[in-house]
Amino acid sequence: MNKQRYYALVIRYFCGGIKTRILRLLEQASEKSIDMTELISEALKINGLDLKKMVALTADNTNANFGGINRGGSNNLFYLLKQENPKLVGIGCPSHISSNAVQFAVEQMEYDLLGFANGLTAHFSNHALRWERFHECAQVLGIYYRLPNVYEKNLHGNLANANEFKVLFYFASFTLDHFNRFNATSQTLKRRLAFSRDDGYYGDQTMRLLAEMEKDGEFDMCLKLKSAFKKFYDDSLSYMNKWCVHLEDIATFFGIVPNHGYRTNISAIVFKRFLQELDNLFGEIAEMNETLEQLQGTEFDSKSVEEKWSILFKNPNFILLKKLVSILLSVFSSNAFCESIFSVVKNLKSDERNRMQLKLLNSLLSIKFNADFDCVKAHELFLSRTDLLEEVKRGEKYVQ
């Protein structure tokens, strides 16, 4: 029997602010693109959503979703959805691209950095006293840490001395911090990596220790380490440049903010939808710029992006502009929201509750991610619905 797989169908839209909601947790055994397309199309139809109004598909960068780096072939989800909606934009998740870039660059290094990190994990986590002291030090220093699965390959024999060990540790901490902080904003991440590479900067602690090693005459080792670090930058940037090419058309619209002197950049995502209305759109933008001049220096400046647009859209003349911003702000920049859904599902589907029906799972997820009311209002609602209380008491929800 084929094992069922979950697919989280999440929507993002602008309506008085940016809204992100789980539409449905879907389940099927097949991973074929044709079956995924039918599943998504049916879910949209059931919820009264028109596939032709879908702005973008954001998903993992798999062949089944996009047909590879060149978006080729007809046997992928993006191609099949575009048959119904030719204006659809395909966005490979930047977070997954950056994560894969790290893995690719690490695999190319002369040093087994993955084995190094997991060797540290094994050293501390398998010894209660060591782990307790490590935990205490991390708390004092305010360090956030996450332990990966123990990696059996031992690295320590490949290191010449303790300094080499520490330099790798410092470099990994510095570089991976960039990937953690900017993994969903590929342009920023690429710039930071390029700056560090071009300036030969590997983190303050790394640079200090390398300087000490050079004073002690360890020139060859320092040269070897610097060469490895530069190669890491080159390889990660090469990977990201190759896979991020499809993000260029929409990069300027992630976090679009109305500021004084705002001008549009008519890229593919806009041009396809406003080709016949560009003149009218220009007039609305000119009027908006005039409005922004009047609002400059007021409390408007301290408002969030969503609040600023909501204020501007009180003007009934901004019909196309509202449509434009609604389209742009509905675009997902990563799959982070979906990942949080799967984390919740994993906790809900424990060994004790592995018979939980998909209907119940969807209800729980809708409450957690979609509900806009607080616990007090929820309590009042449940007490007022005796039919719901009766359903909760029944055991059928756990029966397949």
Identify which of 391, 275, 393, 252 has the alpha carbon closest to the alpha carbon of residue 329: 252
Percent helix, percent strand, percent coil in the chain, to nearest 5: 60, 5, 30
Within 13 Å, how many C-alpha atoms sit on residue 336's CB side?
14
Contact 48, 221 (CB under 8 A): no
pLDDT of residue 246: 73
pLDDT of residue 234: 96
Question: Which sequence spans correspond to the domains of the chain?
Answer: 1-92, 96-245, 258-325, 357-400
pLDDT tens for each residue of the chain, 400 residues long: 357 788 899 999 888 778 899 999 998 888 888 999 999 999 999 999 999 989 889 888 888 899 888 887 889 999 999 999 988 888 888 888 888 888 899 888 888 777 766 777 777 777 778 777 777 776 665 555 554 443 333 444 444 467 887 888 888 888 888 787 766 577 788 889 999 999 999 999 899 999 999 999 999 999 999 999 999 999 999 999 888 877 765 554 444 455 544 444 445 555 566 656 777 777 888 888 888 888 888 988 888 877 888 888 888 888 888 887 787 778 776 777 888 898 888 888 766 566 678 888 898 898 889 887 778 888 888 888 888 788 777 776 655 4
pLDDT of residue 268: 53
pLDDT of residue 270: 58
Contact 61, 92 (CB under 8 A): yes
State whether residue 146 is helix, strand or coil: coil
pLDDT of residue 2: 52
Structure tokens at 21: 């909601």
pLDDT of residue 78: 92
pLDDT of residue 103: 87
Contact 312, 318 (CB under 8 A): yes
List all residues 6 or more positions away from 17 whose beta carbon is below 8 Å from its beta carbon.
306, 307, 310
pLDDT of residue 153: 38
Identify which of 370, 342, 366, 369 has the alpha carbon closest to the alpha carbon of residue 60: 342
Tell me the backbone φ, ψ of residue 27, rounded to 5 degrees: -140, 130
List all residues 6 or more positions away from 118 whose beta carbon is below 8 Å from its beta carbon.
148, 149, 150, 151, 153
